[in-house]
Amino acid sequence: MGSLLLAIIYLAFISLGLPDSLLGSGWPTMQTDFGVPSSYAGYVSMAISFMTIISALVAPSIIKRVRTQWIVVSSVFLTVIGLIGFSCCKSYAMLFIFVVPYGLGAGSVDSALNNYVAKHYSSSVMNFLHCFYGVGAMISPYIMSLALAKAYWNEGYRWTAYIQSGIMLVCLLSVPLWKKNEAAEDDSEHDAAGIRDALKIRGVIPTLIAFFAYCSGECTCFLWTSSYFIGTKMISAETAAAFGSLIFGGLMLGRLISAFVSNKLGDRLLIRIGIVVETVGILLILLPFDGYISAAVGFVITGIGMGPVYPAIQHMAPDNFGRKNSAAVIGLQMASAYIGSTFMPMVFGHIQQAVGIGIMPIYLIFFAALNISMLEYAYKRMDTKT
């Protein structure tokens, strides 16, 4: 039963990743259809992430009152509504109606599942969990690419909604499997700390900045990788949509590798190795080679390096900050991450419109450096007793 529950949790994380890469993959065509500048993708991404921030901030109080399994079912249902709504949009403005369920569906389930797994399972399981997020995020660019080739971008969202509906049904049927850990969950959440108390804990704030930096770089890749290949390598929109999956494939591979070594290496060393690998990948993207092979390999390696960073920081929360604080800290981490997701892809959209999309590797290097510097500072703060 325990293995079956883990399979359901992994499936829920596939559903979390599915919607995340559709906008970046479909935007070159959607932009033309709506008759708006390329930078306008940033506003849609910002609106989705803003709703996710709200969802993540209220997640600790929701987790106290609602069992994780019901948070999962309701959140997947919200993303189904958002996806179907996007598929029906006839104008750019209509997208902003459906960003509400689209974004709200992500924050609570992300916080709830990360908190649940951090408390009940090993670092290896946490990496496998986020690996399955990469599975979902890697699949959807191919769905969008197929839709662009065979139908239209609307169908990419609609087909993804059908898949999400199937996952929601499986999660609903799996509700009885969660009873095994319910007693432990009740005990640990009974005296759980709130957001204000969590902010006072040594090392929390620099960790939040690190999360902001990580998601700023990651989500810039999510949204702008396809456009980067069109703008710098002159390939078709249909091919570029599939190339949007490179970063997600790298993330999935990085987390898969990490799942086998994380218990041995430990979370901190895994993060350090990951950011070094990420930097190597970004440098490959930056190299001025003809053709797209170097950049394609660079995005995959960048994703591999990014892979262990997010799950490792989340998994450390109960040990670093205490089990009763973990729900609040992880909720704050998610909110901080989504602030980066909200604003930094939009900021990059304006930068690339002014100076060219070739600036993308420099942008990514900056956030990789901010990420590791804040984490190292957080470690020193947490390790200092006085």
Closest by CA to 369, choosing from 303, 298, 275, 302, is 275
| Per-residue pLDDT tens over the stretch 214-254 | 999 998 988 888 888 888 887 777 777 777 778 878 888 89
Q: Are 18 and 163 in contact (CB under 8 A)?
A: yes
Task: Write out the E strands in the chain.
Answer: none
- Residue 291: strand, helix, or coil: coil
- Residue 356: strand, helix, or coil: coil
* DSSP string covering 179-209: GGGHHHHHHHHHT---HHHHHTSTTHHHHHH
Quick one: pLDDT at residue 82? 92
Quick one: pLDDT at residue 183? 52
Q: For residue 188, how many C-alpha atoms fall within 13 Å in the half-sphere facing its CB?
A: 21
**Residue type present at position 226:** S
194 backbone dihedrals φ, ψ, rounded to 5°: -95, 180
Closest by CA to 313, choosing from 341, 333, 327, is 333
Average pLDDT, the chain: 85
Q: Are 353 and 178 in contact (CB under 8 A)?
A: no
18 burial (CB, 10 Å; 0-12 / 13-18 / 19+) is: buried
According to DSSP, residue 176 is labeled G
Quick one: pLDDT at residue 192? 58
Distance from C-alpha of 172 to C-alpha of 357, rounded to nearest angstrom? 43
| Per-residue pLDDT tens over the stretch 11-52 | 888 888 888 778 888 888 899 899 998 878 878 888 887 888
The yes-or-no verdict on residue 386 having pLDDT over 50 is: no
178 backbone dihedrals φ, ψ, rounded to 5°: -80, -5
The parent domain of residue 84 ranges over 2-383
* Token duo for residue 2: 């325990």
* Token duo for residue 285: 């993207």
The yes-or-no verdict on residue 79 having pLDDT over 80 is: yes
3-state SS of 2-56? HHHHHHHHHHHHHHHHHHHHHHHHHHHHHHHHHCCCHHHHHHHHHHHHHHHHHHH
CATH code of 331's domain: 1.20.1250.20
| Per-residue pLDDT tens over the stretch 295-314 | 889 999 999 999 899 888 88
CA–chain centroid gap for 311, Å, is 10
Distance from C-alpha of 5 to C-alpha of 320, rounded to nearest angstrom? 26
Q: Are 269 and 308 in contact (CB under 8 A)?
A: no
**Residue type present at position 383:** D
More confident residue, 292 or 185: 292
262 backbone dihedrals φ, ψ, rounded to 5°: -65, -40
Q: Are 226 and 359 in contact (CB under 8 A)?
A: no
* Token duo for residue 76: 């997947």
Q: How many domains does the chain have?
A: 1
Residue with tokens 């710098």: 232
Distance from C-alpha of 73 to C-alpha of 171, rounded to nearest angstrom? 6
**Residue type present at position 137:** A
Distance from C-alpha of 70 to C-alpha of 66, rounded to nearest angstrom? 7
* DSSP string covering 50-107: HHHHHHHHHHHHHHHHS-HHHHHHHHHHHHHHHHHHHHT--STTTHHHHHHHHHHHHH
Quick one: pLDDT at residue 1? 53
Taking every pair of Cα atoms in the chain, the longest distance, rounded to a whole number of angstroms, is 63
The yes-or-no verdict on residue 276 having pLDDT over 80 is: yes
